[in-house]
Structure 1
Amino acid sequence: MSQTVQLTVPMPANLARLRFPKALDDRLHYLLDLQSSQGKLTPTERKEAEGLERMASMLTILKLGAQVKSLK
């Protein structure tokens, strides 16, 4: 039997303005460019790129949530 749990988490008003730090964004783009040009990354580089991508995706989801909430 599956159950659904819904949580309401208050979002800070300034969350929509939050940005991924430039150094991390630059590093992620560097790794993605490296993968495109060389065809693959080392295992360490791949883990780093995956971690940075997860962080960027989570930030995007949080920002979208804040924007939707501001429209209500």
Structure 2
Amino acid sequence: MSRTVELTVPMPARLATLRFPKALDDRLHHLLDEQGLRGRLTPAEKKEAEALAGIATTLSILKLGAQVKAAKA
């Protein structure tokens, strides 16, 4: 039997102002540019790009949650 579970997680409003650090953003863009130019990344570069993209995605989700909370307040 399938069930849906809904969780409510408190989201501090200050999360809405978080930014991905510029150095990490620059590195991710560099890796993506390299992939575009060379058509591929080394295994280490691919692993790094995937990790940075995962962090950026998580940060975006946290920011969105904080913005939704602020809009409801």
Alignment TM-score > 0.5, same fold? yes
Letter of the 2:46 partner, please give it. Answer: R
Q: What do the CA deviations read for 1:18-70 (whole angstroms, capped 9, x no partner)?
A: 00011111110010010011110001110110110011011111111111111
Stretches of structure 2 lacking an aligned partner (at least 5 in a row): none
Residue matched to 2:62: 62
**Using the alignment, how far apart are the partners of 1:44 and 1:4 within structure 2?**
38
Residue matched to 1:21: 21
How big is the alpha-carbon RMSD for the aligned residues of Structure 1 and Structure 2? Answer: 0.7
Q: Sequence identity, in percent?
A: 71
Letter of the 1:40 partner, please give it. Answer: R
Stretches of structure 1 lacking an aligned partner (at least 5 in a row): none
Structure 1 stretches of 4+ moved >2 Å: none
User: What TM-score results when the alignment is normalised by the length of structure 2?
Assistant: 0.93
Residue matched to 1:30: 30
Letter of the 2:68 partner, please give it. Answer: V
